[in-house]
Amino acid sequence: MNVLYIFGSAIVLLVLYIWSLYNGLVTLKMQIEEAWSQIDVQLKRRADLIPNLVNTVKGYAKHEKGIMDSVTKARASMLAAKSMGAKAKASDALSGALGKLLAIAENYPQLKANDSFIQLQKELSDTEDKVAYARQYYNTNVMMFNTKIQTFPNTLVNEMLGFPEKEFFGASDEERKAVKVNFE
């Protein structure tokens, strides 16, 4: 009898453990998906701002065609990117190109004083922040998820549940701070 009780309660505990692990993982997975769509929304938002910016700059700085082309190209390749890794890389390239574009604006006082340019610049630097924070939230969740499925004893159970490891979005946070352009 006693043995039966012990055995029975061990099974109940095991079931409870797997249950809570499974639910925890599903919750995290949903959060990761939501975080990913947030990144996507912000990348799209940034891409939408760029044609306007390029047009405004063109009006004042016709000679900087090279830089403007590189921005347009980076934007196109970001929109074309399908996989997460490709998107992350293209997004970083676009940030770099935009940084250069905004840096040359320093040489054109009239452009710098243009209202719509100032507004665009503000929106753009805000969107850069949004991308960065969305990425941070995404990566934090991915880290929690991966830690959860890789630590003992969860890793044994996950053999059965079969959740695959999640992919980080691009550069680590440290690297990201370094590329981040400060427009102030």
Partner 1 sequence: MTITSEIRSNITKTYVFMAGFVAFVVLAAYVMGNALGYGNSWMFIAVLFSVISSFASYYWGADMVLAMSGARPADRKRDFDLFTVTENLAIAAGIPKPKLYVIDDTAMNAFATGRDPQHAVVCATSGLIDRLERRELEGVIAHELSHIKNFDTRLMAVVAILAGTIAFLADMFMRSLWWGGHRDRDRDNNLGGILLIVGIVLAILSPIVATMIQLAVSRKREFLADASGAYLTRYPEGLARALDKLHKDKEVLEAATNATAHLFITNPFKEKNFGAWFSSLFDTHPPIMERIKILRAM
Q: How many CB atoms lie within 10 A of CB 130?
A: 17
* Whole-angstrom distance, CA of residue 88 vs CA of residue 159: 30
Q: Which of 117, 137, 145, 169 binds partner 1 (CB under 8 A)?
A: 137
Q: Which is nearer to partner 1, 67 or 169 (CB)?
A: 169
With binding defined as CB under 8 A, does residue 133 bind partner 1? yes
Q: Is the dihedral of CA 54, 107, 128, 77 positive or negative?
A: positive
Site residues for partner 1, window 39-58 (CB under 8 A)? 42
Q: Does residue 153 have a cis bond before it (omega within 30 degrees)?
A: yes
Q: Which of 90, 93, 134, 142 binds partner 1 (CB under 8 A)?
A: 134
* Whole-angstrom distance, CA of residue 88 vs CA of residue 93: 9
Q: Which is nearer to partner 1, 61 or 88 (CB)?
A: 88
The crossing angle, in degrees rounded to 10, of helices 2-60 and 115-150 is: 160
Site residues for partner 1, window 57-116 (CB under 8 A)? none
Which chain residues interact with partner 1 by CB under 8 A? Answer: 31, 35, 38, 42, 122, 126, 129-130, 133-134, 136-137, 141, 173, 177, 184
